[in-house]
Amino acid sequence: TPRVFSGIQPSGGLTLGNYLGAMKRFVTMQDAGTHETVYCMVDLHAITAKLLDPAELRDNTRELCAGFIAAGIDPEKSILFNQSQVPEHTQLAWIFNCVARMGWMGRMTQWKDKAGKNAEAASLGLFAYPALMAADILIYHATHVPVGDDQKQHLELTRDIAAKFNHDYGVAFFPITEPVIEGAATRVMNLQDGTKKMSKSDPSDKTRINLTDSADAIARKIRKAKTDPDPLPEAAADLEGRPDARNLVNIYAALADTTPQQVLDQHAGALFGHFKVALADIAVDKLAPISTEMARLKNDPAEIDRTFGSRGRTRPRDRRPDPEPD
């Protein structure tokens, strides 16, 4: 069976970008039943930028777990677990540290963005992050990895690592994994600047919708989102050069499970003042059940622990997928 693997960091908070670019698509792949689906809370990745207090990391992991459950990940259909619970991830990552080349890692745009000008002070873990990510995926011989567009380069590196390992050892051991980057919202943009990615670490809360936002907050952020004065065009191609406008249309399309063109077929000619009301309606409609369920689980962390094991450990080791090759 083809096997899907993907992960999300418990770095605190989940955005509409994480939901549309990742979680919602994880649920679709789970429910399609065509793949084995393995999803991971990658806690070891969450300490690469800054070491988190263990209690904070545990809380973040519970919150992320609640997000997965609220979004529709079903522990009967998918495997959901904590990365640090399965030591083989870091064991294989070490081998991949020896396979990957410094030059490959240094070209990663996420490394350049996150380390910034002060690479000397960044952690070695931040630099090696993509090799651990490759290990997360390849330890399960995953064939497909649904991710947002920002992870495309890391997936290419995963393929390069698998290919070099296979070549150097003369065996077709690891699969050459396919990234699955599709749909209208593979890159949800910042609500105040449509040229930047919506991100949980942006200092301004107005730039993103959090999965825990109230209906009022969602509506307000959409109302205040940056747009331009022109009406919605007839053709999706005419959104080119209008990043803020395009972002809102893409978000609508992803929430409504349709295409940007179909959204425009309905709303061409409308001014953004009107379109934002419709967008807020659908956003609240789709996100309210998720935030309600997350809030309920937050008040009952014991339920998360009962479902997925204790201390934010979410899957007993005996139920993890077999990391041995088929």
Within residues 81-100, the interface with ligand AQP by CB under 6 A covers none
Q: Is 198 annotated as a binding residue?
A: yes
Q: Residue 112 has which token pair?
A: 């350049």
Q: Which stretch binds ligand AQP (CB under 6 A): 191-199, 249-257, 269-277, 299-307?
A: 191-199
18 binds ligand AQP (CB under 6 A): yes
Strand partners, 81: 40
17 binds ligand AQP (CB under 6 A): yes
Of 100 and 181, which CB lies nearer to ligand AQP in the complex structure? 181
Q: How far is the CB of 154 from ligand AQP (least distance, A)?
A: 9
Q: Which stretch binds ligand AQP (CB under 6 A): 76-84, 100-108, 194-202, 265-273?
A: 194-202
Q: How large is the greatest C-alpha to C-alpha distance in the chain, in angstroms?
A: 60
- Confirm if 248 and 276 have CB atoms less than 8 A apart: yes
> Which long-range contacts link 212-220 to residues 24+ away (Cβ below 8 Å)?
212/13, 212/14, 212/291, 212/294, 212/295, 213/287, 213/291, 214/291, 215/284, 215/288, 218/280, 218/283, 218/284, 218/287, 219/280, 219/283, 219/284
263 binds ligand AQP (CB under 6 A): no
284 binds ligand AQP (CB under 6 A): no
User: How far is residue 14's CA from residue 223's CA, in Å, rounded to a whole number?
Assistant: 21
- Confirm if 177 and 142 have CB atoms less than 8 A apart: yes
- Confirm if 134 and 141 have CB atoms less than 8 A apart: no
Q: How far is the CB of 167 from ligand AQP (least distance, A)?
A: 28
201 binds ligand AQP (CB under 6 A): yes
User: Residue 298 catalytic?
Assistant: no
The residue count of the chain comes to 326
Strand partners, 4: 37, 144
40 binds ligand AQP (CB under 6 A): no
**Phi/psi at 300 (5° precision):** -135, 60
Q: Is 17 annotated as a binding residue?
A: yes
Catalytic-labelled residue, pool 77, 152, 164, 200: 200
15 binds ligand AQP (CB under 6 A): yes
Q: How far is the CB of 217 from ligand AQP (least distance, A)?
A: 17
Of 150 and 156, which CB lies nearer to ligand AQP in the complex structure? 150
CA dihedral of residues 75, 77, 80, 85 (deg, nearest 10)? 90
User: How far is residue 251's CA from residue 1's CA, in Å, rounded to a whole number?
Assistant: 32
Within residues 130-189, the interface with ligand AQP by CB under 6 A covers 147-148, 150-151, 186-188
Catalytic-labelled residue, pool 77, 114, 164, 298: 114
Q: Is 323 annotated as a binding residue?
A: no
- Confirm if 142 and 29 have CB atoms less than 8 A apart: no
Q: Is 11 annotated as a binding residue?
A: yes
Q: How far is the CB of 188 from ligand AQP (least distance, A)?
A: 4
- Give the residue from 4, 34, 35, 30 showing the smallest Cα distance to 175: 4
Of 41 and 304, which CB lies nearer to ligand AQP in the complex structure? 41
198 binds ligand AQP (CB under 6 A): yes
Binding residue positions for L-tryptophan: 136
Binding site for ligand AQP (CB under 6 A): 8-9, 11, 15, 17-18, 21-22, 147-148, 150-151, 186-188, 197-201
Catalytic residue positions?
114, 197, 200
Binding residue positions: 9-11, 17-18, 136, 148-150, 188, 197-201
